[in-house]
Each structure stands twice: as C-alpha cells, then as structure tokens.
Amino acid sequence: MKRIDFLKTAGLASAATLLTGQNVFAQNLTSNNIDRLVDANGNFIQQALPYSESFLEPYMDSETLHLHYTFHHGGAVTAANKDAQMIKKALDENNFETIDFWTKKLAYHSSSHILHSIFWTNLTNKKSEPTKDLLKRIEKDFGSYDKLKSYLAVTSKNVDGNGWGILGYQPYTDKLVILQCENHEKLTQWGIIPLLVIDVWEHSYYLKYKNKRADFVDALFNIINWDNAAQRLNDALKFAK
C-alpha cells in the first residue's frame, strides 16, 4: 500500500500520528525533506533550511535566522532526543519516578521542532496572498482575508510571554482555527494541524526589531508563503478524509 493510501484508510488517527511522528506533511512538502522530523530509527533530526540564511532579508535578517535555526530549533531537536531517551530508559528500568517530567519536556521540545520545521517553509522572499480553496475557507470561517490577517496578527502580537500565533485546520469540525499558543504546546485544541505559524519568541525578532514585536509580526506578512499554507491545507484535508 502506498503511504498516501494508507493515510486515507487510517484517517484521523494517522494525522495525529504524523503530527508527533514522521512527516508532518505529505509528499510535496517532504520532497526537500524539511518536514521529515525523524530518521528511520525514530530519532528526531533537523533538516537543512530550504533557502540560504540571507534569503528572507530584509524582513528577517540572516544573523537572527542563523541563531534561530541553529541554536533554538537545533537545541530543541537535541533536547527532544534526550527526553525520548529518558522516557525509554524509565520504561526499560521500570522506574516511573521521573517519567512525567520527561514527558512534559518532550511535549515542549517536540512541539518546538514541529512548529519551527513548519515556520521555515511558511516563509519566502516575496509577497503572496491566499487563493483558491484556502481563500474560500478563510472567507467562510473568518469573513475575509483582511479579517484573518488582523485576527492572526493581533493574536500573535498579544501572546503572553513566548509563543506562537497559529492558523490551523481542525479535522473534527472541518474548520480553520486560530490558536494563541504559549511556549510551543500550550493552549492548543486537540487535532489541529498547523498550516501557518508565527514565531513570536523574543529570539525570533529581538536582534532586529528589539522590543517591537508588533513591527516584526507586521513585517512577516511581507514574506508569508501562502502557497505553502495552501499545500498544507490540501494535505490536511487528505489526512482527514
């Protein structure tokens, strides 16, 4: 059975498995391997960026991108592997004293890995707008593209502390949903598949935008890759069928 057929057959459960497991998204998005989150042994791996570190200039400067990708995203991947190893060790040794601690850590680090992997592909060096099915759904669920933009922007700008603004697809309700995520994993709704994510951790903007998070979020709308979000919606809809 081809992988995509399997996904159709297995339905929602697979979408959930994929989110925590291997390829968050389907073939097109894994052609450059950026969405492949684990290797054949199930260890978390970080793929190369799909562009050079200066590709998103001037809106995202290369030094920020370098530090962000290498140390923040990269650090989460390393930590997620350690968390998973500690959980395995606890299971092997039948010692459950600290397993809840590592489970929390893994939720945090693996969510960071997933969201960062999506974030890099959500950006490009030219301005775009949603079209076709994605635009229709945006209009149905939020009224208009302008309203969605305002909603996503204000939600991202107002995250308490570090976190993300997220546009996702909710298979249970067949709707697009906005989330205001704290850290990498808090305040989600079960099952939501992220389509477009905005990293508003300070490491994401502080070198260039200083304390002006709102300016960073507004600037990001110049480099959002709506084609990528549309592709992710397309794949999410396939998973949900």
CB of 227 to Mn ion, least distance (A): 22
Contacts of 169 (CB under 8 A, 6+ apart): 175, 176, 177, 192, 193, 195, 232, 233, 236, 237, 240
Which two tokens mark 234? 């397309």
Asked whether the beta carbons of 118 and 24 are under 8 A apart, the reply is: yes
Of 167 and 240, which has the nearer Cβ to Mn ion?
A: 167
CB of 97 to Mn ion, least distance (A): 31
Contacts of 18 (CB under 8 A, 6+ apart): 7, 24, 25, 239
- Give the residue at shortest CB distance from Mn ion: 199
Of 185 and 199, which has the nearer Cβ to Mn ion?
A: 199
Of 15 and 197, which has the nearer Cβ to Mn ion?
A: 197
Residue ranges binding Mn ion (CB under 5 A): 72, 199, 201
CB of 111 to Mn ion, least distance (A): 11
User: For residue 44, what are the CA distances in angstroms to 16, 113, 133?
Assistant: 17, 9, 33
d(CA 142, CA 177): 9
Which two tokens mark 87? 């959980």
Contacts of 99 (CB under 8 A, 6+ apart): 86, 87, 90, 91
Instruction: Give the count of beta carbons closer than 10 Å to the beta carbon of residue 67.
Output: 17
Which two tokens mark 76? 């989460």
CB of 171 to Mn ion, least distance (A): 26
Of 83 and 199, which has the nearer Cβ to Mn ion?
A: 199
Of 170 and 188, which has the nearer Cβ to Mn ion?
A: 188
CB of 230 to Mn ion, least distance (A): 23
d(CA 105, CA 66): 24
Of 4 and 48, which has the nearer Cβ to Mn ion?
A: 48
